[in-house]
Amino acid sequence: MSEGLNGTVVPEKRWSEEEKWLLVAVLGVEMVIGAVGNSLVLIVKVMCRGQFCCRYWLPFISLTISDLGCSLLITSGSMMATLTGGQKSPWCEVVSLLKFAFITSSIGSIAILSVQRLIGMPSTRSTLFGAIAAACLTSWVTGVVVGSVPIIYDWVRYDPAEMLCAVFWESSYSDMMTYILCAFSICVFLPILLMLICSVRNASSCCSNSSSGNSNEEADLSEVAPLLVASYMICYTPFFMSELILLGRTNLIPAPDWLRTLSSVMSYLDCCLNPLIYCSHQNFRDAGLALLWTRKPRKPALEPVLTAITKTDKNM
């Protein structure tokens, strides 16, 4: 048991054996699909880049690395914590830091991809491409900085409901409100605003191009961006809701256990869905299938080759 502000008692979640093994199975499936799927996506993007059109490759690479890291480190860490009953320092603090970094880099990469689609090909040229690269790096650095603040102030401890180390507040509502508002404004609200504005602009421009008949360009992988935006918004809605509920409670009691558990499971699900969304693009899917199942033909057996002709005299 723990106490919130004003001595309010906050019960800790205790899993039954059936619930624990169900969560372990779900997390194990998400970890395997996320790790294998994103690894294959990276291989296809590197080895088959000439077989499909991908003009805006940098945010795709950043997003895939983020999803792969989340599957390998965060999802597996939650699965092991469910089995062992917790996470110990310093791994506890590392998980909390990486969680912020991966969440911020993921939403930042999707927002940058949406902006690149709106700008078009000029965003791939030297000057703007440098700004795009700096923006991708900034999304990672921002996540690390935001994730470091709770560690510095010792706000991190293991949450059985979230199945990983998370930020808990026990004394100051003003500190919690200031931190959450700053973190959400920088890491969530601004990227979401960019995604929504760019998605609406891109949709309107696509409609105008299709009506005018100017749609002869090769299909680019960035066409899956609306699906990436929708997947992120759906999968991270429980996480955003749990944080907003905490923000609205002056006694610092966190959101219900079921909502915090759902927020973790759904955020891990997003890492699994992104590789499937890439495969909805036909050229990317064909390139991946060709890489997986096309084998090099065996070398044919050597046949005798005529190198010289010897003429014999019949009178001999």
Which of left, alpha, beta for 292 (phi over 0: left; psi -120 to 50: alpha)? Answer: alpha
d(CA 125, CA 33): 35
| Residues 93, 156 contacting (CB under 8 angstroms) | yes
Residue 128, C-beta contacts closer than 8 angstroms, at least 6 positions apart: 119, 122
Within a domain: 292: no
- Give 219 or 268, the one with higher predicted confidence: 268
Kindly state the average pLDDT of the residues 151-176: 84
Query: What is the pLDDT of the chain when averaged over all its residues?
Result: 82
The whole-number pLDDT of residue 207 equals 66
Residue 314 predicted with pLDDT over 60: no
d(CA 231, CA 271): 10
Within a domain: 214: no
- Give 111 or 166, the one with higher predicted confidence: 111
Kindly state the average pLDDT of the residues 160-176: 82
Q: What is the 3-state secondary structure (H, E, C) of 199-255?
A: HHHHHHHHHHHHHHCCCCCCCEHHHHHHHHHHHHHHHHHHHHHHHHHHHCCCCCCCC
| Torsion (CA) 75, 187, 231, 262 in degrees, nearest 10 | 50
What digits encode the pLDDT tens for the residues 11-49?
455 677 888 899 999 999 999 999 999 999 999 888 877
Within a domain: 155: yes
Kindly state the average pLDDT of the residues 226-232: 91
- Give 277 or 218, the one with higher predicted confidence: 277
| Torsion (CA) 98, 100, 101, 105 in degrees, nearest 10 | 140
Within a domain: 11: no
Banded model confidence at residue 309, pLDDT cuts 50, 70, 90:
low
The whole-number pLDDT of residue 65 equals 94
Strand 9-10 and strand 156-159: the pairing is unpaired
Residue 66 predicted with pLDDT over 90: yes
Domain encompassing residue 65: 51-204+222-285
d(CA 296, CA 289): 14
Residue 198 predicted with pLDDT over 90: no
Total structural domains within the chain: 1
Ranking 59-68, 86-95, 164-173 by mean pLDDT, the lowest is: 164-173
| Residues 164, 265 contacting (CB under 8 angstroms) | no
Within a domain: 197: yes
The whole-number pLDDT of residue 263 equals 92
- Give 173 or 151, the one with higher predicted confidence: 151
Of 248, 92, 250, the C-alpha closest to 171 is 250
The whole-number pLDDT of residue 6 equals 43
Tokens describing residue 141:
């650095």
The whole-number pLDDT of residue 68 equals 94
* CATH number of residue 121's parent domain: 1.20.1070.10
Q: Which residue has the tokens 């008692």?
A: 9
The whole-number pLDDT of residue 295 equals 52
- Give 237 or 316, the one with higher predicted confidence: 237
Residue 211 predicted with pLDDT over 70: no
Of 274, 220, 232, 198, the C-alpha closest to 57 is 220
* CA distance to 8, 70, 187, per residue, from 11 (Å): 10, 28, 30
The whole-number pLDDT of residue 47 equals 85
What digits encode the pLDDT tens for the residues 116-157?
888 887 777 777 888 889 999 999 999 999 999 999 988 888
Banded model confidence at residue 50, pLDDT cuts 50, 70, 90:
confident
Within a domain: 29: no
The whole-number pLDDT of residue 221 equals 85
| Residues 75, 162 contacting (CB under 8 angstroms) | no
Within a domain: 132: yes
| Residues 69, 61 contacting (CB under 8 angstroms) | no
| Residues 187, 142 contacting (CB under 8 angstroms) | yes
Banded model confidence at residue 212, pLDDT cuts 50, 70, 90:
low
Within a domain: 77: yes
What digits encode the pLDDT tens for the residues 238-269?
998 998 888 887 777 888 889 999 999 999 99
Beta bridge partners of 156: 167
